[in-house]
Structure formats: C-alpha cells, structure tokens
C-alpha cells in the first residue's frame, strides 16, 4: 500500500502532466512539508514524473534522510541554483513549474536568469489546492492539535479572575499548550476583555480583567506542523444585558452555520447563513470579517468562508466557523469551532462547550 506522501506526489504528477510541465520546484515550507514529510526550515524540492529530489544545506541532511525517504537528498554548498541546474541538466527539464504566490520578484528574476530551462511556468495554486482536502493522517494530527486547545480552554477557566492581566492569561494558555506536547501556538494569542473585546484581533495587552467583563480568547496549537484554532467568549460576573443578547445571537448564528456547512455549497453560501441571521437581528454592521477559513499546515489557508468565498466545499476540507458581533465601547462576542466537511453532516472537531460561561 502506498504511503500518504506517495499518494500526494502521484496526484501532483498527474497535474503536472495535464499542464505539460516536466517538473516543479517547491520552495514554500508548508508545501514541501506536505509533499515530503521534511519539516526543517530550508529545502527546495524538484519533482519530475519519475524522480524526486530534496535540496538542502548541511544542517538538515541527516534530518532529511530520515524524514523524506522517498527523495534523493542533495546537499548544496555554494549556490543552490547551481545545484538545481545540475538536476535540470541531468533530467532534461525544459518546463519548470514554480509557486508564483510564494516566490519573490527577486527570486523570480534569478530563476529566469540562472535556471537553464526553456520556460518557468506558474503553478496557479496547484499544490495549495491539493492541500485543501485533508487525508486521514492529516486529520489525525489536526484532531490532536484541537484537543490540546480544548484542554487549554478548560484549564484557563480556573485561572481567569478580576485583576489578572490579559497578557498573563495568554502566557498561561501558551505555557499549558506547550506542556501538552504542542510545538507552539498557531498565532499570537488573542485575549481581549471588557471594551477591548470589541477588537476582533485584540492581541493580549496589559489591561487587567474586571468584574463584568466579557473575555474573548482566540488561540490554537501546532501539533507536528498542523494547526488548530478556536475562540470562546466568557464572562467574569453577570454580563451586560446587551452583551448577553449578543452572545445568544452569535451562538445561534454559529450553530446554524456549522449545521449548514455542507458539501457542494460555496464559502459565500455558508457565510450567508450566519451573516443573514446576524443582519436580521440588527447587528449586520457589527460583523465585519469572514465567517471562517481553512486550517491545516497554515493557520489561514483555502477555502475561505466569506463574502468572496467562491470555492465549493468538498469532503475532507477543514474550516473554522467563527461569527462575531463587536460594539465599540461595549465589547464583543465571537465563538469559533473547527469542522470537517462531510457530505451533509459536518464533523465538529472542537469539543469545548459553546454555552454561556459565567466565571
């Protein structure tokens, strides 16, 4: 039976054949991790119809040999482009695909000037599109990352109290996440309390939590290169009447959108499930971001659930569902889960309670 890495390479080779490319040069970290299993910080993959090469420097040769057994490992010493040209010449590569969304203008000019090929051709998101549908191995790693975040949320509920600073809550979350085996956090932890909870991306500040505050926490873990992402809003003491109302609206919108996230719908159609409900309640102008995004090797990747989300949902896609309402001067509420598209029955990965929690 072929490994998951072999299956990914096979799918890429079929696409290369369809696009009349002899080979692809892969430089984006998430893409070379996906196609090789190597997760060091420096690598170039060259994949042809029959061969696969991983070019790296002396720091990573031993690691690459262990992590990427399907590849011939080549150590470059002086110029990586000279090394790549040796492969191009040996394998007779004329048309080479490259990641135009990742390669800088400077690198592109160097490719044009120094690589001995007839044409370098943009991949048009070819590898990123393959990554949208997660295979069994990826889903298992994502589930572990989600479980770490869920456990961190349970832990932090006993830590939050009046007088504790947002940055202290963030630090405690991140410390717990790493103690559970995560490589790190998926992004800068958001802890926004009181009036600051009206900031959708209110990264933790020196503000102390006060009685009556809403506390929005948006955080995630990286487990073996795969990310998780969750948001919960809790209250320290009895919430303001309007915040309580907002919480219930956001919760209803979130749960409706989760149930409605079905195969065959576009990201825009799923976004509208939550957005229309929030607008009907009179808070449409207070929900200014997209409903969600893909999560995997990157914390934000395709497909997007938003007003511009044109990609059609398919089984195995992992996305967030995170509506929010934000009122300057008062506060805000966001609730976020990760789900897997699964026909008409989306699988909810996030296990933490969504009901209002008053500490």
Q: Is the pLDDT of residue 261 over 90?
A: yes
Taking only the tens place, the pLDDT of each residue in 8-58 is 999 999 999 999 999 999 999 999 999 999 999 999 999 999 999 999 999
Q: Is the pLDDT of residue 78 over 90?
A: no
Q: State the pLDDT at residue 291.
A: 98
Mean pLDDT of 307-323: 98
* Domain regions of the chain by residue span: 4-132, 136-348
Taking only the tens place, the pLDDT of each residue in 316-338 is 999 999 999 999 999 999 999 99
Single pTM value for the model: 0.96
Nearest-angstrom CA–CA distance, 346 and 54: 37
Q: How many CB atoms lie within 10 A of CB 64?
A: 24
Length of the chain: 359
Q: How far is CA 307 from CA 257, 292, 304, in A?
A: 14, 10, 9
Q: Is the pLDDT of residue 2 over 90?
A: no
**Under DSSP, is residue 229 helix (H, G, I), strand (E, B) or coil?**
coil
CATH fold group of domain 136-348 = Creatine Amidinohydrolase (3.90.230)
Share of the chain above pLDDT 70, in %: 100
The listed CATH number (3.40.920.10, 3.40.350.10, 3.10.20.740, 1.10.357.10) that belongs to domain 4-132? 3.40.350.10
Nearest-angstrom CA–CA distance, 102 and 187: 20
Nearest-angstrom CA–CA distance, 227 and 350: 13
């Amino acid at each position: 039976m072929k490994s998951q890495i072999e299956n990914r390479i096979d799918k890429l080779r079929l696409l290369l054949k369809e696009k009349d490319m002899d080979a692809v040069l892969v430089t984006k970290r998430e893409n070379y991790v996906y196609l090789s299993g190597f997760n060091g910080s420096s690598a170039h993959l060259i994949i042809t119809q029959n061969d696969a090469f991983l070019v790296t420097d002396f720091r990573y040769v031993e690691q690459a040999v262990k992590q990427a057994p399907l590849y011939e490992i080549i150590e470059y010493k002086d110029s990586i482009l000279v090394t790549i040209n040796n492969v191009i010449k040996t394998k007779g590569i004329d048309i080479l695909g490259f990641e135009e969304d990742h390669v800088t203008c400077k690198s592109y000019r160097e490719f044009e000037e120094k690589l001995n090929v007839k044409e370098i051709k943009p991949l048009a998101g070819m590898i990123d599109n393959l990554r949208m549908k997660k295979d069994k191995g990826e889903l298992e790693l994502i589930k572990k990352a989600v479980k770490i975040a869920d456990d961190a949320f349970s832990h932090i509920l006993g830590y939050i109290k009046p007088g504790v600073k947002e940055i202290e809550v963030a630090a405690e979350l991140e410390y717990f996440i790493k103690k559970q085996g995560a490589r790190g956090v998926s992004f800068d932890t958001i802890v926004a309390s009181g009036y600051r909870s009206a900031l959708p991306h209110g990264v933790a500040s020196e503000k102390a939590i006060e009685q009556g505050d809403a506390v929005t926490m948006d955080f995630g873990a990286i487990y073996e290169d795969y990310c998780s992402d969750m948001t919960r809003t809790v209250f320290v003491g009895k919430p303001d009447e309007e915040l309580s109302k907002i919480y219930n609206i956001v919760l209803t919108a979130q749960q409706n959108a989760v149930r409605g996230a079905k195969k065959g719908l576009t990201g825009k159609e799923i976004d509208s499930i939550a957005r229309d409900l929030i607008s009907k309640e009179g808070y449409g102008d207070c929900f200014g971001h997209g409903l969600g995004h893909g999560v995997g090797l990157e914390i934000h990747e395709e497909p997007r659930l938003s007003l511009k989300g044109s990609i059609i949902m398919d089984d195995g896609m992992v996305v967030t569902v995170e509506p929010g309402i934000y009122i300057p001067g008062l506060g805000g509420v966001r609730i976020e889960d990760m789900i897997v598209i699964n026909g008409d029955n989306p699988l909810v990965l996030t296990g933490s309670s969504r009901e209002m929690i008053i500490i």
